[in-house]
Structures are given as structure tokens and as C-alpha cells.
Amino acid sequence: MRRYLTALLAAVTLLAQSCIENDIPYPLVEINITGVEGQGFTVSSIDLATRTVTLSLEEQTDISAVEIERVTLGVVSHSTSLTDEELLARVTTSRELTGTFDLRTPLYVTLTLYQSYEWSIVAEQNIERRFSVAGQIGSSQFDVPNRTVVANVPEGTDLTALQVNELKLGPADITTYSPTLEELSGTNFETVRFVDVTCFGRTERWLLHVVPIDVTVMLTQVDAWSKVIWLYGVGVEGRTMGFRYRKSGEEEWLEVPGVEVDGGSFKARLKAEAETDYEVVAYADDDVTEPRSVRTEATWALPNGGFEEWTAPDLNITPKRRYWIPYLLDTGTPFWDTGNKGSTTLSDSDNVTIPENDPRPGSSGTRSAHLMSKWVVLKFAAGNLFTGEYFATKGTNGVVGFGRPCIYRPTALRGWVKFKGGKINRVGSVPVGVNIEQGVTDDNGIIYIALGSWTPEKYGVWVDYITRDFYGTEDVPFAIYTGDKSTFFNPQGPDVIGYGEKVMVENIDEWTEFTIPIEYTATDRVPTHILVVCSSSRWGDYFTGCDKSELWVDDFELLYD
């Protein structure tokens, strides 16, 4: 008995010692979903703050049977010597992530290594819906959750035999209706009409309302930019509709050219002068709205858009390294930056972006920016120039901040460019959907511009939770950690308001002027920041490209008309 108690005591003591000796924090490894592939959808956003992946379903995709073929994961390691590949091999998931899923409700999954991370995959599906009747005012209003649509017509319209022009409430080509468009047309709409809409073996009942109103024309929206005023109106279908304008204080009304009419809706884009007061009206035949007063915005120029201002400070290391920055250190305003602070850790010769005494023809300046892709510190580095700030170097990865404050809405970016590319000879990784063959695929240069409403709370990154290293500021809100693809900029992101790009697929031997139109998601959204990025290798953030590619840029300016 004593021998048993002695052995038991020894075992308990050993167990206690074991618990004490193993009381060491696990390495901190963040696990993110970086991509989802499958049939009938694209990834519209990956939100790291909420750990949510949003899929945009094609119109004819059955939301109750979405086929997911592949989910890619990424890790951000803060305190382990294991490679990303070794860490990913150890990740477990709470459920199978490939197969057919009903995404009418979110797909929840827990990703676990040393810690657990709750992620969700949600679906959104925009189905183009149309319902219109003869003599309609404006477009119909759709209440999708309540399956209701309302069309307005002028007071006095005969609703007992109303002509129905359009009826589309489900996916094209695979939806049936009862009653059909033909059966509805010419019938009585004095009361609500019901339509059964069937697709994917499911039937939904929709309610159709036709409502008479005592209005024949309305000026529904006026968005005044710097040198453009966007006009939107609704009127009685079939009438002559348009807009007129005048500067405040003038008597003569002028016709707005280029009006686009779609049924009972119409819109136009009016060229204007910056910081000027205007009055605008909408009309349908002889009926005219009350004037609305608007004032156009000011214009604003990119600081150091000619890339004349440069400084070469020392890195705070021994031996000293000098790196080029595209602003004057003492008197200039930081607006542009490069990755030079990260690439020059071992050598001054590893600056990937430098000033060059080679201005474009006719320039009032004497310099341009020269971007060079190189093999640096055991990794490929693309020549780069961007609005923002290079935040930090973490091992062989960088933390880059994108964006500078901007509340203006330019319509295009104009500048000058030269480019010399080559075959891709360095491949780190490949973006989803891009096929790259080393030694065969040509490297591309790229210039892009984006306007958005980004915040550091949503687009900043934690790169080391142990030392509390957070990157992202009010001035530079969009942080990218090159070791985590899920942090990369997405032109289709929900907070992108305007975007445009120019890709150099062939060499441009002589200085050539370019203009990049900016496409906006809506004319009534106002940005908070601007993002302009130039890279001598299009896929440089994936450490992929040709280490001989070069890009020259000069005299960037924003256009507003």
C-alpha cells in the first residue's frame, strides 16, 4: 500500500512539474481565408475585421446549391520559425469547405492551429428585375424582401386595361411566370395583382402595384462635382424629357446636351466650371420642375505630381544605408512613398525607385521617377511608387500603407510613361485566376488610381499581436502586409468609390502620354482618400515578375471634366 501511495505521489508530482514546465504560450498564428473558387460566383470581398468572405453569385446560380471547389488559406505568423507551408499543413477546419452548399444562410467555419478563428462565407445575388407599364413615371421600385414592386403613373390613367411592357422578376431564361406578361397586359390594375415566380423548383409570390400620382416630372438627384454635374430625373414615358441649366444670376436657360432616356427615367452629365453656382431644372414636354441650386466643388492637384522633389536620408542602421524618398524631408509634405526603406537594408544599390534626370518632352521640370524590379534580400522586389507610407519591414516582408486624404472626385488621371519589360523569371506566388509560366509569360507594368472611403479600423493590419504592432492611420488607412494576401488591395472592394488602371503589356520605348478614366460606383458617394500606385511588375506584391523590368513616370495630373 505504501509503495502504491509513493508511486501515486511521484506521478502527481511529475504531472505537476510537467504542467509547470509546459506553461509556455503557443505561437500566435492568424489564419485567414484568402480565396474561394467554384462555379457561378466570384469573390466580391474578404473582410479581415469581421472574418467574412462575400461571394457575388451570377444571376443563374442557385443560391441554395452553390458549388465551392477550393478554399485557400493564408497564415500570418508572429512567433514561430515554421514556414507558412508547414503551418498551413497543420491547420484544421471545423467542417468540409468544398462541395455544394445552401448559402441562403451563412456558411460558418472554425479554422484552428494554435488558436481558433471563426470565419463565415456569405452570398449576395443581384438579379436584374424589371416591371414597367405604358405611360409610367420613372422606374419601378422593388422591395425584394417583401416581394413587392410599385410602378407610378399620372393621375387619370385608365387602370382597367393597362398595357404591361416588361416583366422580369427572376433569373433570365430559367424563370416562369403565372400569369405571364401576355396574360397580364391589358388587364385591370385598379387593385394589386399577384404573380407566381418559379425557378430552381421554388415558387415565390410577388405583388404588383400601379399607383397614380399627381406628378408628371421630377428632378430626383443632382450631384455636383468639380467640373461635372450629374443630373437624374423621372417623367411620363413617351414624352420629350430633358434638363436645362444656367449660372446663378443669369436669365437664359440652356439645354443640357446628351440626355439618356430609359423608359420614364432620364439622366445627363453636364460639363461645368469649378466653384460655381448653378440652377437646374428637369422637364417633360411643357411640365417643368422647380429650379434647384447647386455649387460645384473645387479642384485639387496631386502634390509633387511632377516627381521633382526627392531626398536620400540614412537608414538607422550600421553601416549606413541611403534610400530615396519622393518628397523633401525638411520642407516637403509626405504624399508619395516607395518600398526603398525595405529594399535597401543590405545595400544602397537596392533602391527600387529613384529620381532620374529624364523628364518627359515639354516638361517644366527636370526629373522623372524610375522604377526598377530587382532580386533583393533573397526575394523579388518590384519597383514601386504609391500615395501613402512605407510602414515597416518584417523579416523579408513589408508593411505598406496606401492612401492619402482626398475629398475630390476627378474623372481621370493623366501622365507620361515609358516601360521596358521581360519574361517573368521570378515566381513567388500567383494571384487566383492568373496563369503565369516562368520564362514564358511577359511581365507587365501597371498604374492604377482609386478613390475610396477606407478607415484604419477596417483596413489596418495587426502584424504582431505580441508586441502590439498595428499599422494604419487616419491619413494612411489601407495597410498591406505582403506576407498575407488577404490584406491586398481589391479594386472591387465595397469601399472603393472610383477606379481606373493602365496595364503596360508591351514595351513603351519613348515617353508617351496616357489618360486613365476613373469609373465610379455611384455619383453621390464622396471619397475620403485617394490611392495611386505605379509598379514596374504588375504582380510584384506576390513577389512575381521579371527582375529586369523598368517603368518611368512623369507629370501626373488629375482631370475633372
**E runs forming strands in 158-227:** 164-168, 176-178, 193-199, 202-213, 217-224
- The reported pLDDT for the residue numbered 467 is 65
Determine whether 502 is exposed, middle or buried from the number of CB atoms within 10 Å of its CB (0-12, 13-18, 19+).
middle
For residue 12, name the pLDDT band (cuts at 50, 70, 90): very low
- The reported pLDDT for the residue numbered 98 is 96
29-125 and 130-213 have identical folds: yes
- Alpha-carbon distance of 513 to 418, in angstroms, equals 9
| 240-250 average pLDDT score | 97
Give the three-state DSSP class for 551. strand
C-alpha distances (whole Å) from 492 to each of 230, 403, 487 are: 23, 16, 14
- The reported pLDDT for the residue numbered 2 is 39
- Alpha-carbon distance of 102 to 175, in angstroms, equals 20
- Alpha-carbon distance of 534 to 526, in angstroms, equals 24
Contact call for residues 48 and 487 (beta carbons, < 8 A): yes
Answer whether the bond into residue 179 is a cis peptide, omega within 30°.
yes
449-477 tens-digit pLDDT = 999 999 999 999 988 756 678 999 999 99
- CB burial of 391-407 (b: ≥16 within 10 Å; e: otherwise) equals bbbbeebbbbbbbbebe
Pick the range with the lowest mean pLDDT from 15-24, 162-171, 352-361: 15-24
Q: What residue segments make up the domains of the chain, in order of their start?
A: 29-125, 130-213, 217-295, 336-559
27 pLDDT above the threshold of 60? yes
- Alpha-carbon distance of 156 to 142, in angstroms, equals 24
Q: Which residues are CB-contacts of 42 (< 8 A; sequence separation ≥ 6)?
A: 55, 56
- Give the largest Cα separation in the chain, rounded: 113
**E runs forming strands in 217-264:** 217-224, 228-235, 241-247, 254-255, 260-262
**The pTM is what?**
0.81
In sequence order, what DSSP letters do the residues of 74-129 get, joined into one string?
Answer: EEEESS--S-HHHHHTT-EESS--SEEE-TTS-EEEEEESSSEEEEEEEEEE----
- Alpha-carbon distance of 34 to 44, in angstroms, equals 12
**Residue 517: which of 223, 222, 228, 221 has the closest Cα?**
228
Rounded to 5°, the CA angle 276-294-516 comes to 70
**Residue 543: which of 378, 354, 313 has the closest Cα?**
378
482-522 tens-digit pLDDT = 888 888 999 988 999 999 999 999 999 999 999 999 999 99
Strand partners, 151: 210
- Alpha-carbon distance of 121 to 102, in angstroms, equals 11
231 pLDDT above the threshold of 50? yes
19 pLDDT above the threshold of 50? no
Element (H, E) at 183: helix 181-184
- The reported pLDDT for the residue numbered 466 is 60
Question: Which residue's C-alpha cell is 457561378?
Answer: 40
Grid cell, residue 458, equals 477596417
**What's the chain's average pLDDT?**
91
- Cα Rg of the chain (Å, integer): 30
420 pLDDT above the threshold of 60? yes
Pick the range with the lowest mean pLDDT from 92-101, 321-330, 346-355: 346-355
558 pLDDT above the threshold of 60? yes
Strand pairing category for 107-112 and 92-93: antiparallel
- Alpha-carbon distance of 168 to 187, in angstroms, equals 18
How many C-beta atoms lie closer than 10 Å to residue 20's C-beta?
8
DSSP state of 26: P
Q: Which residues are CB-contacts of 246 (< 8 A; sequence separation ≥ 6)?
A: 252, 253, 254, 278, 279
- The reported pLDDT for the residue numbered 346 is 66
Element (H, E) at 415: strand 412-420
**Residue 167: which of 131, 202, 117 has the closest Cα?**
131
The alpha helices in 142-255, defined as continuous H runs, are 181-184
- The reported pLDDT for the residue numbered 20 is 37
Pick the range with the lowest mean pLDDT from 57-61, 73-77, 245-249: 73-77
For residue 337, name the pLDDT band (cuts at 50, 70, 90): very high
351-389 tens-digit pLDDT = 999 999 999 999 999 999 999 999 987 789 999 999 999
Fold of 130-213: Immunoglobulin-like (2.60.40)
Strand partners, 133: 164
In this structure, whether the domain defined by 336-559 belongs to CATH 3.40.50.720 is answered with no
- Alpha-carbon distance of 206 to 176, in angstroms, equals 13
- The reported pLDDT for the residue numbered 389 is 96
Determine whether 185 is exposed, middle or buried from the number of CB atoms within 10 Å of its CB (0-12, 13-18, 19+).
middle
534 pLDDT above the threshold of 90? yes
- Alpha-carbon distance of 195 to 93, in angstroms, equals 44
Q: Which amino acid, 409?
A: R
Strand pairing category for 260-262 and 265-271: antiparallel
Contact call for residues 539 and 434 (beta carbons, < 8 A): yes
Pick the range with the lowest mean pLDDT from 73-87, 320-334, 473-487: 73-87
246-284 tens-digit pLDDT = 999 999 999 999 999 999 999 999 999 999 999 999 999
112-127 tens-digit pLDDT = 998 999 999 999 999 9
More confident residue, 284 or 18: 284
For 29-125, CATH number out of 3.20.20.20, 2.60.40.2340, 3.20.20.70, 1.10.150.170 equals 2.60.40.2340
Contact call for residues 213 and 152 (beta carbons, < 8 A): yes
DSSP state of 329: T
- The reported pLDDT for the residue numbered 22 is 41
CATH tag, 217-295: 2.60.40.10
